C-alpha cells in the first residue's frame, strides 16, 4: 500500500469510528428529524427515480426518499449506521439498497442516478473537490444533486467551531466540513459542470431539551464527534472541564427560550440544489 493510501485508510478508519460512536440515530430523532424530508422535497423526487444518498447514515434522508417513490441506494462509510438504517427501513415498510461506500470513491457507474442526495454526509469527507467530482459523475445529465449542509455561523457550525481547539489536529489535506456551507466554495467546487445551482436557508427548531445543560449532556453521550473529542483529552481533567464550560457557554448564549421555558435552538443549514 502506498503512503497516500495508508494515510487515507487512517483517515477513513477514524471517520468510521467517530460516526459509529454514541447513538447517531437518536441524535437525528431528537434534534434534526425534519431535515431529511425537507431535502427530499427540495430534490423533487418522482416515482421511479433512481436515487443515491451519499453519507446516508441511518437513513434520515434515504428513507423519506424511498417513501417519495424513489428507487434508493443508501451509501455510507460506517457499517454500524447502515445496519441501523436497514432496521429502520424494515420498520418503516420501505425497501432500499444499503451499500458501504466512500464519498470520495463511489462504487457506481457514471450517470447512473437521476437524483444524488446528501444530508450532512458528503460534507464530512476530507477532500471536497474529489467528493464534488464524484457527486457530479454519478448523476445523469439533467439530473439533480441536492445537499443539506451545516453553515459555519449556524448553531451546529458554532458547536463544531467550539470543539475544534479541543480536537486532535486534522490529518494533512483535510478540508473543514463547514466550507460546504459557504456559497462561493460550493460554486467553485461544481464550477461549470452544473447548469443551475441554488442555495436556500433552512432552520430546524430544537426544543427537545429542558435546559442548556441537558443539551450538552445529550451531545456528550450520543454524538460521535463530541464523544471522540472528549476521548482525545484522556484524563486531562482541566481540559475536559474547559470543554464542558465552552459547550455550556454556547448552549446558554444561544438558547432563545423565554426565561423558565424549555430550551430552544435554531439549527441553521443550507439546501444546495444543482442541476447537472
Ligand X SMILES: C[S@@+](CC[C@H](N)C(=O)[O-])C[C@H]1O[C@@H](n2cnc3c(N)ncnc32)[C@H](O)[C@@H]1O
Site for ligand X in 81-140 (CB under 6 A): 81, 102-104, 119-121, 124-125
As a residue count, the chain comes to 276
Report the distance separating Cα 97 and Cα 13, nearest Å: 23
Beta 50-54 vs 196-206: how paired, if at all? unpaired
Decide if residue 61 touches ligand X (CB under 6 A): yes
User: Min. distance of Cβ 238 from ligand X in angstroms?
Assistant: 29
> Considering only CA atoms, which of 148, 149, 155, 154 is closest in space to residue 175?
149
Q: Which is nearer to ligand X, 107 or 142 (CB)?
A: 107
Q: Whole-number minimum distance, CB 136 to ligand X, in Å? A: 16
Whether the Cβ atoms of residue 129 and residue 189 lie closer than 8 Å to each other: yes
Q: How far is the CB of 95 from ligand X (least distance, A)?
A: 19
Region from 53-61, 183-191, 209-217, 245-253 binding ligand X, contact rule CB under 6 A: 53-61
Q: How many residues bind ligand X (CB under 6 A)?
A: 21
Residues 6+ apart with CB under 8 A from 80: 19, 20
Name, in order, each residue with C-beta under 8 angstroms of 60's C-beta and a sequence gap of 6 or more: 28, 32, 33, 35, 36, 119
From 38, 49, 57, 149, residue interacting with ligand X (rule: CB under 6 A): 57
Q: Give the footprint of ligand X on residues 65-84 (CB under 6 A).
A: 76-78, 81
Which residue in 22, 49, 55, 89 binds ligand X (CB under 6 A)? 55
Shortest Cβ contact with ligand X: which residue? 57
For ligand X, the closer CB: 81 or 251: 81
CA angle 252, 121, 80 (to 5 degrees): 95
* Beta carbons within 10 angstroms of residue 109's beta carbon: 9
Smallest gap from residue 162 Cβ to ligand X (A): 17
In the complex with ligand X, the residue whose CB is nearer, 10 or 261, is: 10
Among 60, 216, 227, 272, binds ligand X (CB under 6 A): 60
Helix/strand/coil for 137: helix
Bridge partners of 206, per DSSP, are 265
Q: With binding defined as CB under 6 A, does residue 268 bind ligand X?
A: no
Distance of closest approach, residue 257 Cβ to ligand X, in angstroms? 25
Give CA separation, 193 vs 94, 142, 148, 150, 152, in Å. 33, 11, 19, 23, 25
Complex with ligand X: residue 77 or 132, whichever CB lies closer: 77
Identify the DSSP state of 191.
G
77 vs 136, which CB is nearer to ligand X? 77
- Our CB check for ligand X shows the closer of 22 and 121 to be 121
Q: Which residues bind ligand X (CB under 6 A)?
A: 15, 19, 28, 36, 55-57, 60-61, 76-78, 81, 102-104, 119-121, 124-125
Amino acid at each position: 500500500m502506498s503512503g497516500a493510501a495508508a494515510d487515507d485508510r487512517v483517515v477513513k478508519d477514524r471517520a468510521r469510528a467517530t460516526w459509529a460512536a454514541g447513538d447517531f440515530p437518536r441524535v437525528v430523532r431528537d434534534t434534526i428529524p425534519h431535515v431529511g424530508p425537507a431535502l427530499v422535497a427540495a430534490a423533487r423526487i418522482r416515482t421511479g427515480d433512481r436515487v443515491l444518498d451519499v453519507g446516508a447514515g441511518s437513513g434520515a434522508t434515504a428513507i423519506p426518499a424511498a417513501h417519495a417513490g424513489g428507487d434508493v441506494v443508501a451509501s455510507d462509510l460506517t457499517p454500524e449506521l447502515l445496519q441501523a438504517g436497514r432496521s429502520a427501513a424494515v420498520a418503516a415498510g420501505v425497501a432500499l439498497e444499503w451499500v458501504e461506500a466512500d464519498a470520495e470513491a463511489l462504487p457506481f457507474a457514471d450517470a447512473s442516478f437521476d437524483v444524488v442526495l446528501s444530508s450532512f454526509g458528503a460534507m464530512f469527507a476530507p477532500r471536497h473537490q474529489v467528493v464534488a467530482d464524484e457527486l457530479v459523475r454519478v448523476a445523469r445529465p439533467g439530473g439533480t444533486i441536492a445537499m443539506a449542509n451545516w453553515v459555519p455561523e449556524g448553531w451546529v457550525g458554532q458547536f463544531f467551531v467550539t470543539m475544534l481547539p479541543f480536537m486532535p489536529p486534522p490529518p494533512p489535506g483535510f478540508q473543514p466540513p463547514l466550507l460546504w456551507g459557504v456559497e462561493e466554495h460550493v460554486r467553485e467546487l461544481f464550477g461549470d459542470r452544473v447548469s443551475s445551482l441554488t442555495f436556500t436557508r433552512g432552520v430546524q427548531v430544537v426544543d427537545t431539551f429542558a435546559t442548556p445543560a441537558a443539551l450538552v449532556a445529550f451531545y456528550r453521550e450520543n454524538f460521535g464527534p463530541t464523544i471522540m473529542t472528549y476521548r482525545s483529552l484522556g484524563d486531562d481533567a482541566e481540559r475536559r472541564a474547559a470543554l464542558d464550560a465552552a459547550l455550556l457557554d454556547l448552549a446558554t448564549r444561544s438558547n432563545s427560550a423565554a426565561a423558565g421555558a424549555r430550551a430552544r435552538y435554531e439549527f441553521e443549514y443550507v439546501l444546495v440544489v444543482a442541476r447537472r
